[in-house]
Chain A
Amino acid sequence: MDVVSRVVITVGGVGTIAAVSAVAVFLVWVAAPLFLPARSEEKPSALLGATEPAPSRLMLNESRTLGSAMLGGDRIIVFDAATGETIETAHEFSRPRLTAWSMSADTAALGYEDGTVRFARLGFASNLVGEAEVDPRLRSLAIGATAATEHDGRRGVLSRLSETEFRFDSFELTLDDPITVSASSIRLIDHIESTTGRTFVALTAEGELRIEQVTERTNLLTKKVTRTVREGAIPFAAAPGRGEPMRVLLSGRGDSVILIWKDGRAERYDTRNIEAAALAEELDLLADDDAQVEAIEFLIGKATMLVGDSRGNVGVWFRARPPGAQTPDGAVLVRAHLIAGRRSAVTALAASSRSRTVAVGHADGRVRLHHVTSGKLLADLRAGEGAVRLVILAPKDDGLVALGDAALHRWILDFRHPEVTLATLFAPVWYEGYARPAHVWQSSSGTDDFEAKFGLSPLIFGTIKATVYSLLFGVPLALLAAVYTSEFLHPRAKSAIKPAIEMMASLPSVVLGFFAALVIAPFVENVVPSVLTLLAALPATFVAGALAWQLLPQAAMLRLSRWRFLFILMVAPVGVVLAWRLGPTVERLLFAGDLRLWLDGQIGSGLGAWMLLLAPLSAILSAVFTSRIVNPWLRPRSREWSRRRAAAADVVKFAGAAAGALGAAWLLAFVLTAAGFDPRGSFVGTYVQRNALIVGFIMGFAIIPIIYTIAEDALSTVPEHLRAASLGAGATRWQTAVRIVLPTAMSGLFSAVMIGLGRAVGETMIVLMAAGNTPVMEWNIFNGFRTLSANIAVELPEAVRHSTHYRTLFFAALVLFAMTFLLNTVAEMVRLRFRRRAYQL
């Protein structure tokens, strides 16, 4: 029995403790794949059956069983991706001859010799096929195996999915009617397709650059399709000696046309209004004069352009709107990223159709996968010895095919989480369309080509902001209250008050959050000046109360001293009423009569803001000045004074100190304002109903019980004999408290603050309800923020399991865990040290 119990308890005990530690391990386990490189598995390569003329474009279907290739401008062939064997010729461009083409996800724009343009819809079809319909010879196919065959009169690839299910993949191409653009042949073309229609831009042999927008509307009743065409000419004049551009590009929304020459020169035209297109800017895409542009590709959404050059580098360009841009549309092309190669020329580029990943083929046979925004190198693959001629990423980002010489090199890929690195989580990242790198958290949006932005900095900033403001409010209150409770409060009162405050530690934070957001926030919104006044008026009232108390005759004071705390309690409402009354006056004097407008910076000057910031500082300075300079000077002189006179002198001293503090703050504020500094927009600024002031107040309130309890315990454990010795030596209670008790208990107080800090960092419900939850990075006390914890609470229920978003949120939880664990460990170590020392005393 004894052995059994020992085993059970040991296993249970160790297991329990292990289970608790498992929390951290599990968080790491989920978050870690964020930082792993992509997985790749090479499949056997195959020879492409037809290679004459040279392939100029590859396509791959979703299941990576079937591929198609454009052979020169001659024909499109379809091939079995596993064997490279040609299955069929999908289309031959014999007459008129194809001279230019561009392809997007499932459409192609084809430009012909005779000056016409045709749109083609091309893509892969995939059908599930029952066992009965399958060619009897192929029924013995192994699960997962594929075979080229004919089904329903079409050529394609059959693959076996399970015992009973087969899938047949085939290629489909349909051509629309031709649109006549010009009399001369089309040299370059690019197009986009949107929900309203198609837009294309074409450069003709005569050097004409035309843009046309084709809108098709189907009548719901008659099913008749009406086609409207808007066209415009772009004022492009080929400069002599420059030669023909190598590519013409049309941006994703059709609002920009870019021409690029082999030497890196580029011209961008503003085509927001296609009937009045104009040159927007000219620039050089290559920093190096000797380099040449080798490959150009758009990323998903056609807003970011990749330019691969003969030096092996890939420049990442997109339009940004920096302030003061000189172009007609206010945007300029910027090179936000540079993917540095290994000095081997870029020969092929392929962009992913679902992420911002690009495959770069080099002249030395390497294929490197990069994530553009994060700059992460996902994989470095070897595709034979010769130059890589073409690369294509599978539509689901799960495979890659590279054509080197005649061989098709195939890989199965798992990108994992290419968009996240430690740098993207914590450092500023240059996102598409941004004028400069920025810290952004924006995890979801309505559109497909939206790039999720996982920068944790705004959230960490929000956490720190919430913590700082709540500590500013909570720590002084809790520590001072603890000092009073342990040193001055009557023991009987203490035995009632302390448990009451302690019990507040278990007040659910959802209650406080609700209170902050639905009671305090709407209330404070209307009385901000009074609230600000209260912060100064309340301490001043207490000091004034003490001065009045001193003026009492000594006998009365001694008799009443048991009830001192009651008097203090009664003084508090006086301070509140005072602040309430003074509020409008303060608003008129400092904030130009209307705080909200003043905070927006519409009226008034920065004087009030400086006063707001400097007043606490000058009050502290003035207090230090009084205690260090005035008191030592006053002390020998006041020794002979009567009690009354000393008390009166104290009143004068306090009034002087207060006036001095205010005067100094005002003077400094005046000088700073006159010098043209205005702090509005930094620590104070536009007022939002749910803001850091409210959170600081309520969260400060929430952490008071815990700090108070631990601090009070630390103060109470200071041995009584130390106090007795000090009092016996003639020190007053105040002197004993400040010079003996506080220094002795200092590490205990420190650990109390650290634990309070840890509590504030992890608090969720209060910030979730009262902080407004916008992830902005501003110190403005009147603005909201979003913390790590609130962000997790809001977004985790919607995050798809194992997605980057999900793992990033786990990483955020890990950060939170690490922050609090660090704080608590420091606090615990300090506390243990303190306890050891306290036992020695």
Chain B
Amino acid sequence: MTHAINTPALRSRSAAGREPLTPLRRSSRRRARSSLLAHGEPMVWLTGGALAVALLMILGLLALVLVQGMRTFRPLSVERFVLHDGRVMMGEVTRAERYEPGGDVLDRLEGEARTHATALLAQGEGRSRRRLVRIGNYELTGEHFAWVSDFEIARIERPPWAMVVERLEWGRFYGEPKAFLIDGAVAADTPETAWAAFREHHGPARRRWEERRRLEVREIGRLNAQQEAARLALRQAEIDHGADSPQARAAADRFEIVQRDVEEAFTRLREQIRLLNEENARFVLVLSTAQGQEKHLEVAEIVRAYPANRLGLKARAAIYLSRWGEFLSANPREANSEGGVFPAIFGTVLMTVIMSLLVVPLGVLGALYLREYAKAGAIVSAVRIAVNNLAGVPSIVFGVFGLGFFCYLIGGSIDDLFFKAKSASGPTFGAGGLFWASLTLALLTLPVVIVATEEALAAVPNSMREGSYACGASKWQTIKRIVLPRAMPGIMTGMILAMARGAGEVAPLMLVGAVKLAPELPGEINSIAPYFHVERSFMHLGFHIYDLGFQSQNSEAAKPMVFTTTLLLIAIIAALNLAAAWLRLRLRRKFVGGQF
């Protein structure tokens, strides 16, 4: 009997001290074996229900992100709403909802419209449907979106030639093509011919525009960099040797020469840009809005235009794909609510890569020390507990540390030592930047790598180490030739998991350098110290989501973009995770076959 009492379950009960042992035994003796009650089916269903709810929530979230994210770029048809009060609106219907109109809505209507609206409202029990129409034409209407309630509508049309025009500025434009002007002269005066002319000239105009952009950004940037480098050299010489020293005077002379050269180059470039602009100004598309206003749009300023109601399936697919292409490869425009997220993707990837370059060697060293070198004892287990715990320290705390330690303390000291001249106009390393963000995240993900590497090292069978020693290998040789190669997939898994964690982390980045719009791409290599520009602030997909969702003025237009960005971020992280899972599987297989 004493033996029977000594089962773990009973012991744990008595250890918990909740209940003496005897009642349990008595009740189990009395138990009705056939009773349905003993199966606890409702409770099992409750536990199952919890799992079902968790799963459904996950699937629901993923499905919603997937669907909403994929929908963003689909070309919609353009509808024209003629309202009872005579207003006309044209645009894409982005969504619809039911709502309860306020009391005074009906009072504003007159005559037949009012009877009609009253009837419609009565039918819907006082509720009506309303559609959110993207009416665009911001410079004319002052609004990007407008609500249209069903009872206001007199008729809905689908103008065959209604065009959606995506522009560089002012958001979208909706209108029907009227004419195409070349050098101010009418080259086409029907929708068909204007559209054909537009298609003919749009490509070259855009290429000229891109050439101009390249000149403006790349070439002028290069010249500015040259001039800035010379200016900084002068400042540095003044700081190091005094303003009247021969070194400073030499630097001043060099600065003069560089400035003269740069001025000449500037003039040449400006002339080139002027020519391109002049050429582009020749081509103008004339559109008429739903209200009948005429609008002249310079072809080069149009990113994309299409007659929305005349598209076939293939044309739709082409527009959809071209928008995805733009999203992935272009710079953002219109306060991030249009265009692409290329700088954010680039920033995320570069930061994650630098982070892994930093974290993997350190993490592997730490794990090697813990597993292979340190003598087992209280200290090692304490350190292990500490490392495990640090995985649970909130990421924002690492951000605080990163800002205070890396940016202000280390970065500030670097600025004082090496970048006195440059930092007069603003900190170089002494503020948030890509490198500090990478370092901060490296610290944050260090426990992940250490734990994964330790596991991988532990999985290498001791017999292999012993075999190696028996062959006369030293400890380092054993580690290098036997242990590390075997543990490599595990280390890779750790690295990928760290990358996945790092890529999705936003809170610390808000403190150490992620910005809504980076003026210059980080990671650029040029002639100004520190040459490889990892000190610059950067854009990040996760921060982009936060910023777009919360700080955007045109939030209705930004919301679909948030979904798409979210989809992209989740896809990147899921891909990294799947890679880790695949590697883990491979490791296991290799490990099973690797026993001596």
The residues of A with any CB-CB pair to B shorter than 8 Å are 1-2, 5-6, 8-10, 12-17, 19-23, 26-27, 30, 476-481, 483-485, 487-489, 497, 499-501, 503-504, 506-511, 513-515, 517-519, 538-539, 541-543, 545-547, 549-550, 564-565, 568-569, 571-572, 631-632, 634-636, 638-639, 643, 646-647, 650, 654, 701, 704, 708, 722, 725-726, 730-735, 738-740, 743-744, 746, 755, 758-759, 761-765, 768-769, 789, 792-793, 796-797, 801, 809-810, 813, 816-817, 820-821, 823-825, 828-829, 832, 841
Contact = CB atoms under 8 A, between A and B. Distances in A.
Given A16-B363, A769-B546, A828-B388, A572 B35 contact: no
Given A514-B562, A550-B41, A743-B16, A480 B47 contact: yes
Contact of B40 (A2, A476, A738): A738
Interface string B362-403: 110111111011100000000101111110111111111101
Nearest to A515: B61
A2 B475 contact: yes
Contacts of B404: 26-27, 30, 810
A797 B51 contact: no
B574 A503 contact: yes
B365 A743 contact: no
A488 B44 contact: yes
Contact of A539 (B49, B55, B65): B49
Given A722-B8, A734-B41, 6 more contacts: A13-B373, A481-B47, A483-B47, A517-B550, A731-B38, A793-B396
B48 A743 contact: no
A646 B36 contact: yes
B12 A743 contact: yes
Contacts of B447: 20
Given A638-B32, A828-B389, A542 B369 contact: no
B364 to A, nearest CB: 9
17 contacts: A12-B362, A17-B386, A481-B54, A497-B51, A511-B569, A515-B65, A549-B41, A569-B55, A650-B36, A701-B57, A722-B9, A725-B7, A731-B28, A762-B396, A764-B394, A796-B403, A821-B389
Instruction: Find the residue from A16, A479, A506, A731 having the highest chain B CB count within 10 A.
Output: A16
Instruction: Find the residue from B8, B24, B504 having the highest chain A CB count within 10 A.
Output: B8
B385 A828 contact: yes
Nearest to A735: B38
Instruction: Find the residue from B28, B386, B543 having the highest chain A CB count within 10 A.
Output: B386
B32 A796 contact: no
Contact of A12 (B61, B365, B477): B365
B506 A510 contact: yes
B455 interface: no
A510 B545 contact: yes
Contacts of A762: 392-397
A402 B389 CA distance: 54
B6 to A, nearest CB: 11
Given A10-B373, A546-B45, A796 B53 contact: no
B363 A813 contact: no
B37 A824 contact: no
Instruction: Find the residue from A508, A722, A789, A820 having the highest chain B CB count within 10 A.
Output: A508
Nearest to B55: A497
Given A9-B369, A635-B35, A725-B7, A817 B476 contact: no
Contacts of B511: 792-793, 796-797
Nearest to A701: B57
B8 A631 contact: no
A758 to B, nearest CB: 5
B131 interface: no
Given A538-B53, A828-B388, A740 B9 contact: yes
A654 B58 contact: no
Nearest to A503: B577
Nearest to B574: A503
B581 interface: yes
Nearest to B408: A801
A433 to B, nearest CB: 32
B559 interface: yes
A483 to B, nearest CB: 5
Contacts of B573: 506-508
B58 A813 contact: no
Contacts of A722: 7-9
B548 to A, nearest CB: 9
A722 B7 CA distance: 9
B305 interface: no
Interface in B439-473: 443, 446-447, 450
Contact of A546 (B31, B42, B52, B397): B42
A25 to B, nearest CB: 10
B39 interface: yes
Contacts of B504: 506-511
A638 B34 CA distance: 9
A738 B504 CA distance: 38
Contact of A14 (B32, B40, B369): B369
A813 to B, nearest CB: 4
A568 B365 CA distance: 48
A820 B389 CA distance: 8
A484 B446 contact: no
A810 B401 CA distance: 8
Given A481-B54, A500-B58, A19 B400 contact: no
Contacts of B387: 17, 20
A734 B396 CA distance: 42
A483 B396 CA distance: 33
Interface string B521-565: 000000000000000000000110110011000000001001000
Contacts of A514: 545-546, 549, 562, 566
Contact of A10 (B16, B50, B369, B383): B369
A762 B389 CA distance: 13
B397 A817 contact: yes
Contacts of A507: 504, 570, 573
Given A13-B365, A489-B51, A825-B389, A764 B395 contact: yes
A477 B395 contact: no
Contacts of A519: 64
Contacts of B501: 506
Q: Which 6 A-B pairs rank lowest in CB-CB distance, beginning with the nearest?
A: A762-B394, A13-B369, A508-B504, A12-B365, A734-B40, A480-B50
B562 A17 contact: no
A525 to B, nearest CB: 13
A806 to B, nearest CB: 8
Contacts of A643: 36
B550 A484 contact: no
B401 A27 contact: yes
B13 interface: yes
A824 B389 CA distance: 6
B88 interface: no
Instruction: Find the residue from A20, A734, A832 having the highest chain B CB count within 10 A.
Output: A20
Given A27-B401, A480-B46, A511-B65, A792 B36 contact: no
Contacts of B569: 508, 511
A631 B365 CA distance: 60
Contacts of A517: 549-550
Contacts of B9: 722, 726, 739-740, 743-744
Nearest to A722: B8
A5 B394 contact: no
A465 B125 CA distance: 40
Instruction: Find the residue from B38, B507, B543 having the highest chain A CB count within 10 A.
Output: B507
A593 to B, nearest CB: 14
Nearest to B512: A797
Given A12-B365, A514-B546, A650-B37, A820 B44 contact: no
A816 B401 CA distance: 13
Given A510-B506, A515-B61, A21 B386 contact: yes
Contact of A646 (B35, B64, B559): B35
B357 to A, nearest CB: 15
Contacts of A759: 392
A487 B51 CA distance: 12
